[in-house]
Amino acid sequence: MKITKTISFIVRFTTIGLALAFVFLYFVPSKLENNGSNGTTVEFKESTSSITQANTQTNSYADAVERAAPAVVNISTKKVITERANPLLNDPLFRQFFGENRGAPRQRLETSLGSGVIVSEQGYVITNNHVIRSADEIEVSLPDGRTVAAKLVGSDPESDIAVLKIELDKLPVITLGQSKGMRVGDVVLAIGNPFGVGQTVTSGIVSATGRSHLGINTFENYIQTDAAINPGNSGGALVNANGELIGINTAIYSRSGGSQGIGFAIPIVLAKDVMTQIIQHGRAIRGWLGVAIQEIDPQLAESFGLQSQNGAIISQIVKNGPADKAELQPGDVITAVNGEAVMSVQDTLYRISRIKPDDEVELTLVRKGKIISKKAVVAERPTQE
C-alpha cells in the first residue's frame, strides 16, 4: 500500500514538473537563448513618432505655404520711356529727304514684374525698391484674383526696401517671424512670382546669415539661401517652416541670369525697421557723421600700428559735417561707437545709422597709436539714389 502511494506521488509530481517546464519553455524561450551573453543590456534611442507624424513634419510644408501664400502678391509696373532721336536725324539734308518728324523724340511703354508681401490689414505691402523704381503705374494682384492700383508710400534705395498702400477689404496678412533666430541649416521657403508664370514656392535651407560686402546696397546684412530665386521673385517672401516671414527676397548670384543656388534676402528685422520709418516719415531716417570710411586690411593694420583689423579707417571728412565739427581727422580709426566695439565698415555704418539725428555719439578712436575719445552730434543721412 505504501509503495503504491509512493509511486502515485512520484508520478503526479513528475507530471506537474513536466507541465511547468513546458509552459516555461513555450512562453519564455529567450531566457535559455541568452546563455552566451555577458549580461550587458543594449539600449537604443528610437523614434516615438508614428509614420504619419514624421511625414507631416518633414515631407510636407503645405501648412506653412497655406498660411503665407495668400499674402504674397504679384506687382506689375509701367513706365513711359522717352528716347532721344539720333542727332543725325536733325540734319537739314536728312529732313529734306525723310521728313521733318524723323527727329522727334519717341516714347515707349516699359513693363516689369515683381513680388510683394501684405504685412498689415491697413493695406501696406512691402517689396524691393528696384521692383517699383521710376514706375508711373503700380498694380498689385492678389492670389484670390483681385487686382488693385497701388500707391507708393515711400522707398529706401540704400536698403532696397519700398512700401506700397492698397485699398481693399479683408486682406490676407502674413505673420512676421524672428530672423535673428535663424540658423544655418534651417528650412526656408521662397514664395513669389518668377517670370510671371504665377505664384511659385521653392524650398531650401539657410546657407549663411549676416552676408555683407556684396556691393548690392549700402546697408547689407543678408540671409543667404539655396531656395531657388529667379527674376520676378524680388520683393517676395522668404518664410520659415511655420509660414512666418523672415526675409524679403532681393537678389541672386548668377552668371546666367537664372538661379544657381545662391540667393539673398533682407532679414525681416531690418526690413521692418525701414518699413516703419517709411510709413511714419515717408523715408528712412538714419544718423550720419559725414565721413567716408574703409576696411582695415593687413597692410593698413601694420602701417597704422594696429593690433587687429577690427574697426574702420576714416579716409575722407565732409567739410562742416558732424565729424569735421567734432575735430575728427582722416586716418583716425573708429574702434567703438557708444562704447560698443565695431568689427567692420558695415558694422560701423549700421551702428551710426541707428542713432537719431541731433543725438550725441561717443566715438572711440585710434589716432597715431593712441586711444582717444571724441563726441559728435549726429546729423540726418542725406537721401541717396
pLDDT digits (tens, 9 = 90+) for 243-301: 999 999 998 887 776 777 889 999 999 999 999 999 999 999 999 999 999 998 888 88
CB 312 within 8 A of CB 351: no
**Residue ranges covered by each domain of the chain:** 63-282, 287-380
Tell me the CATH number for domain 287-380: 2.30.42.10
Tens of pLDDT along the chain (385 residues) come to 444 554 454 545 555 555 555 444 444 444 434 444 444 333 322 323 333 333 345 678 999 999 999 999 999 998 877 766 666 666 666 565 655 555 566 777 777 789 999 999 999 999 999 999 888 899 999 999 999 999 999 999 999 999 999 999 999 999 998 887 789 999 999 999 988 888 999 999 999 998 887 878 888 889 999 999 888 899 999 999 999 999 999 988 877 767 778 899 999 999 999 999 999 999 999 999 999 999 988 888 888 888 888 999 999 999 999 999 999 999 999 999 999 999 888 889 889 998 999 999 999 999 988 999 999 999 999 876 5
User: d(Cα 59, Cα 64) in Å, to the nearest integer?
Assistant: 12
Question: For the chain, how far is it from start to end, CA to CA, in angstroms?
Answer: 122
Specify the 3-state DSSP secondary structure of 346.
helix
pLDDT confidence of residue 86: 61
pLDDT confidence of residue 265: 94
User: d(Cα 56, Cα 75) in Å, to the nearest integer?
Assistant: 33
User: d(Cα 164, Cα 19) in Å, to the nearest integer?
Assistant: 87
CB 191 within 8 A of CB 68: yes
CATH assignment of 63-282, among 2.40.10.120, 2.60.40.1180, 2.30.29.30, 1.20.120.160: 2.40.10.120
Residues classed as catalytic: 130, 160, 234
Q: Could you identify the residue written with the cell 567734432?
A: 326
**pTM to 2 decimals?**
0.74
